[in-house]
């Protein structure tokens, strides 16, 4: 059978997806659009694609005669790319625009969770500043204020400073159709669990943890994610089973009951609080950078699973197979990230880094600059690279990732030095 896959997106997540799909013997060809310099070195790319335009996405899939389209980012999904692809008879892994509202509107996600009995933070959704202020005072500090809509990771403010919370309320409400969600603060460690769904069943991946703050020790502003690792040696052994039973399956059931089945990747962002597990957020696509760590250990051929989910029948997959050991990804960010990243700087040492045994250099914001006549890889986004290390345990995986990262040069680039450090120590102490 011929399976030609189109991956839509241009980040580290898409580079990891492309690599995992290329490993699948049932996949005959992988094309990525728009891609980046690292993806282009491995597979054909269509750099001109506007991913926000569902017609353009579907036109490209038609032109390529793709058998499966895997949509990486949330923006095309919320815009209806999956609907347009399915309308044209193209197989697509990714939810409809209606189902993508689980990420596109925090108010909608809360409504679904309430209807499905899924544990989440208590919240108030409103378009009125005084209602928001009253909710802040009812919940008390620490204040959690969320933009209702998509905000590329910048929509959430968690603060003890009431004035800052109020300022974010006003910023959210100032947007066209602005709405804001005020939540109770959730304590406890966070977990990202990805679940593949065919609209009816769910198939969990291995849980991961993401590091959202820019600097070591969880200091600095929130980012899209500065690193991640899997598995979680400290997590309760029944965590995945509990999330499937109390969060994922009820949500999938509720979406089906509403006539808007969720077919794609459900990303459950969870907090393991002192009062039990709570959903922090849902996303409707693979997480970035957790995917880079998680897919490194996946043994089950990815294309076959995603195609089965897209076809609405995951029944042949009871579970996914994983390599033993651990995987860690550390993100190299551009100077000024996240507030105002500077791009266009040459990246050195990529070959040396890729030569480290067990390391994989995944590109995120990179471009090939042929300006001087020779191909050079330059930075083109805030998160520039994700360096993955795999090893027998987290300590070994960390050593590999940082060994490789230390061989890369980007003027002013920054990365966290403590990705998976505490978990590696816990694991070492327990073994
Ligand atoms: P979100 O965009 O909803 O994932 O929020 C981004 C980050 O803000 C999360 O990963 C958490 O670290 C933090 N956060 C969001 N909601 C809460 C909450 N209710 N309590 C504590 N932290 C939160
Ligand atoms: N790693 C966080 C996200 O993908 O939203």
pLDDT tier for residue 136 given thresholds of 50, 70 and 90: very high
Ligand nearest to the CA of 222: 1
* pLDDT for res 371: 58
User: Whose Cα sits closest to atom 12 in ligand 1?
Assistant: 212
Residue to substitute in 156, 218, 288 for testing ligand 1 pocket (most ligand atoms within 8 angstroms of CB): 156
Mean pLDDT of 89-110: 95
Residue 314 in tokens: 């995951």
Q: What percent of the chain has pLDDT over 70?
A: 98
- Residue closest to 419 by CA, chosen among 251, 215, 258: 215
* pLDDT for res 375: 73
- Residue closest to 332 by CA, chosen among 382, 286, 367: 382
Task: Cite the beta strand spans of 302-407 per DSSP E.
Answer: 326-333, 359-363, 366-369, 376-379, 383-391
CA of 10 to the centre of ligand 2 (A): 15
pLDDT tier for residue 155 given thresholds of 50, 70 and 90: confident
CA of 192 to the centre of ligand 1 (A): 12
> Are 225 and 331 in contact, with CB atoms under 8 Å apart?
yes
pLDDT at 253 over 90: yes
**Cα–Cα separations (whole angstroms), residue 336 to 138, 214, 220, 382, 413:** 36, 10, 12, 8, 8
- Computed over every residue of the chain, the mean pLDDT equals 95
- Residue closest to 151 by CA, chosen among 193, 179, 129: 179
* pLDDT for res 373: 61
Q: Which atom of ligand 1 is nearest to the CA of 281?
A: 3
CA of 153 to the centre of ligand 1 (A): 10
pLDDT at 91 over 80: yes
pLDDT at 176 over 90: no
Tell me which residues have their CB closer than 6 angstroms to ligand 1. 121, 144, 146, 155-156, 158, 183, 185-186, 190, 212, 269, 280-281
For the segment 356-398, what is each residue's pLDDT rounded down to a tens digit? 999 999 999 999 987 556 678 999 999 999 999 999 999 999 9
State the Cα–Cα distance between residues 164 and 322, nearest whole angstrom. 44
Which element (helix H / strand E) includes 290?
helix 290-296
> Are 26 and 303 in contact, with CB atoms under 8 Å apart?
yes
Q: What percent of the chain has pLDDT over 90?
A: 87
Q: Is 231 in the pocket of ligand 2 (CB under 6 A)?
A: no
Roughly what angle, to the nearest 10 degrees, separates helices 12-22 and 302-310? Answer: 100
The pTM score is 0.94
* pLDDT for res 83: 98
Neighbouring residues of 414: CB distance < 8 A, sequence distance ≥ 6: 214, 332, 333, 335, 337
State whether residue 131 is helix, strand or coil: helix
For the segment 315-368, what is each residue's pLDDT rounded down to a tens digit? 999 999 999 999 999 999 999 999 999 999 999 999 999 999 999 999 999 999
- Provide the terminal-to-terminal Cα distance of the chain, rounded to the nearest Å: 45
* pLDDT for res 266: 98
CA of 55 to the centre of ligand 2 (A): 26
Ligand nearest to the CA of 9: 2
State whether residue 378 is helix, strand or coil: strand
State the Cα–Cα distance between residues 344 and 412, nearest whole angstrom. 12
User: Whose Cα sits closest to atom 11 in ligand 1?
Assistant: 280
Mean pLDDT of 272-276: 94
pLDDT at 431 over 80: no
CA of 104 to the centre of ligand 2 (A): 14
Mean pLDDT of 185-200: 96
* pLDDT for res 150: 75
For the segment 287-306, what is each residue's pLDDT rounded down to a tens digit? 999 999 999 999 999 999 99
Q: Is 386 in the pocket of ligand 2 (CB under 6 A)?
A: no
pLDDT tier for residue 27 given thresholds of 50, 70 and 90: very high
CA of 400 to the centre of ligand 2 (A): 23
């Amino acid at each position: 059978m011929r399976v030609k896959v189109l991956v839509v997106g241009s980040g580290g997540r898409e580079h990891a997806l492309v690599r995992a799909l290329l490993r699948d013997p049932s996949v005959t060809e992988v094309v990525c659009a728009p891609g980046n310099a690292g993806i282009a070195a491995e597979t054909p790319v269509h750099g001109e694609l506007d991913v926000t335009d569902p017609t353009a996405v579907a036109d490209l899939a038609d032109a390529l005669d793709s058998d499966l389209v895997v949509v990486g980012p949330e923006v095309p999904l919320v815009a209806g790319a999956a609907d347009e692809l399915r309308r044209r008879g193209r197989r697509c892994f990714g939810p409809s625009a209606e189902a993508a509202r689980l990420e596109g509107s925090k108010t909608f996600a809360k409504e679904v969770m309430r209807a499905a009995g899924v544990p989440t933070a208590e919240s108030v959704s409103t378009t009125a500043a005084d209602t928001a202020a009253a909710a802040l005072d009812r919940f008390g500090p620490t204040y959690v204020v969320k933009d209702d809509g998509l905000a590329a990771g910048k929509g959430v403010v968690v603060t003890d400073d009431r004035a800052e919370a109020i300022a974010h309320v006003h910023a959210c409400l100032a947007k066209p159709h602005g709405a804001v969600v005020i939540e109770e603060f959730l304590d406890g460690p966070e977990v990202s669990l990805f679940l593949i769904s065919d609209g009816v069943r769910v198939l969990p991946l291995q849980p991961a943890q993401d590091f959202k703050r820019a600097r070591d020790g969880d200091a600095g502003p929130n980012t899209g994610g500065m690193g991640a690792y899997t598995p979680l040696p400290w997590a309760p052994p029944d965590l995945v089973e509990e999330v499937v039973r109390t969060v994922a399956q009820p949500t999938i059931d509720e979406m089906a009951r509403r006539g808007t089945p969720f077919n794609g990747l459900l990303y459950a962002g969870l907090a393991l609080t002192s009062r039990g597990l709570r959903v922090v957020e849902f996303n409707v696509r693979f997480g970035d950078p957790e995917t880079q760590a998680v897919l490194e250990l996946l043994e089950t051929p990815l294309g076959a699973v995603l195609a089965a989910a897209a076809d609405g029948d995951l029944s042949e997959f009871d579970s996914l197979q994983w390599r033993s050991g651990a995987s860690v990804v550390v993100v190299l960010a551009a100077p000024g990230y996240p507030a105002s990243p500077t791009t266009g700087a040459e990246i050195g040492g990529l070959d040396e880094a890729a030569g480290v045994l067990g390391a994989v250099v995944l590109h995120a914001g990179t471009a090939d600059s042929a300006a001087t006549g020779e191909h050079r890889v330059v930075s083109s986004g805030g998160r520039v690279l994700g360096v993955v290390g795999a090893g027998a345990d987290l300590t070994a995986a960390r050593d590999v990732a940082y060994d490789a990262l230390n061989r890369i040069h980007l003027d002013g680039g920054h990365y966290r030095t403590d990705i998976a450090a505490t978990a590696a120590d816990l694991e070492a102490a327990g073994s």
